[in-house]
Amino acid sequence: MYSGASNFVTTTDTAFAVIIGISMIFLVGITATMLWFVFRYNKKRNPVATQIHGSNTLEIVWTVIPTILVLVMFFYGWSGYAPMNRIPDDAMKVRATARMWSWLFEYENGIKTDTLYIPVDKAVALDLISVDVIHSLYIPAFRVKEDMVPGKTNKMWFIGQKTGDYELFCTEYCGLSHSYMFTEVKVLPQAEFDAWYARMADTTLQAQAAAANPGFKGKQLVQTNGCVACHSLDGNKLIGPTFKGLYGAEHTVMTGNDERTITVDDEYIKRSIYEPDADVTKGYTKGMMISYKTQLTDADVAEIIEYLKTIK
């Protein structure tokens, strides 16, 4: 509690402390009264019950005190919640996209990542997009959480006040691999963030890295498009077949109602990405993978193929 990781920690934790405090007073008070009554008014000690009819004082007391307590809780809740809806004008904008089952963060200069990098002590505003079902973005350490609803752009903002890595995950049960929807927020010192931001946007640097490592660009595409939520790189079977050793492997697939054996080559991979349901790999479910026709160009697919060749 009160870690100060974001600007909303103190108000949220205070609201919780107040509510828990009031609840504890009632828990202890009511339990003690009950025990006292069992002792004082049992049949042996108090054989004849007393009937009480009406008491204005009592009624006023049990109306006014709870009303005040509820208003106190409301006050702390509201004063913590209201600022969450007032996004500062100078906030850095990031578009956060959720899909089954991964995250994508897009910055104003076009950078795309699967991890949220932010500078310390700077307001960051997220546009929350979902491309399929309802997800919910939650950063526990920052005390922020907001649903991501298809067709609607919800917003969220915060200031990361301490450098470090924090968990970010989906809290809306969104299907089979919901538990894979986690990533990190990396809060960096401003200078380090600026360096990262410039490096990621530097096309010459990116091109050099790509030339030095075959599959470099494809690897980025596979990460930012969330393929690894369903396809492992280490041979494990997830929702889809593993990418390990995929290129050149012989697979049995269902094409319509026909079973046939194919060799995984460029053409097959391209077809699998653009029309996943055309050939369904045996042992896997049709309709799980969406078509990436509108999201990945032919050039992107070629990069992905280069990358898949490297995972042996």
Chain residues that interact with ligand HEC, rule: CB under 6 A = 100, 222, 225-227, 229-231, 239-241, 246, 251, 253, 264, 269, 272-273, 276-277, 279-281, 284-286, 288-289, 292, 304
- Provide the CA 2 distance to its chain's centre, in angstroms: 22
99 part of the interface to Cu ion, by CB under 5 A:
no
Q: How far apart are CA 202 and CA 197, in angstroms?
A: 9
Side chain identity at residue 39, one-letter code: F
Q: To 10 degrees, the CA torsion angle through 199, 200, 204, 205?
A: 60
Residue 170 is a binding residue for Cu ion (CB under 5 A): yes
Nearest-approach distance from CB 26 to ligand HEC, in angstroms:
47
Residue with smaller CB distance to Cu ion, 174 or 246: 174
Indicate the residue among 156 and 304 with the shorter CB distance to ligand HEC.
Answer: 304
**Binding partner of residue 174 among ligand HEC, Cu ion, none, CB under 5 to 8 Å per kind?**
Cu ion
Q: Are 186 and 117 in contact (CB under 8 A)?
A: yes
Residue 57, classed as helix, strand or coil, is helix
List residues bridging with 96 in a β-sheet.
105, 128
Contact between 181 and Cu ion (CB under 5 A)? yes
Residue 227 touches which of ligand HEC, Cu ion, none (Cβ within 5-8 Å per kind) = ligand HEC
- Closer Cβ to ligand HEC, 199 or 286, answer by number: 286
Smaller CB separation from ligand HEC, 187 or 305: 305
Residue 103: phi and psi, rounded to 5, are: -115, 150
Among the listed residues 135, 143, 219, 231, the single contact to Cu ion using CB under 5 A: 135
Q: How far apart are CA 195 and CA 258, in angstroms?
A: 54
Of 113-121, 169-177, 205-213, 250-258, the window that binds Cu ion (rule: CB under 5 A) is 169-177
Pairing mode of beta strands 116-119, 182-188: parallel
137 contact, one of ligand HEC, Cu ion, none, CB 5-8 Å limit per kind: none
Q: Which amino acid, residue 282?
A: K
Percent of the chain as helix, strand, coil, to the nearest 5: 40, 25, 35
CB of 227 to Cu ion, least distance (A): 16
Choose from ligand HEC, Cu ion, none: what does 124 bind? Cβ within 5-8 Å by kind. Answer: none
Residue (of 303, 119, 274) closest to 207 by Cα position: 303
Among 5, 116, 174, 308, binds Cu ion (CB under 5 A): 174
Contact residues toward Cu ion (CB under 5 A) are 135, 170, 174, 181
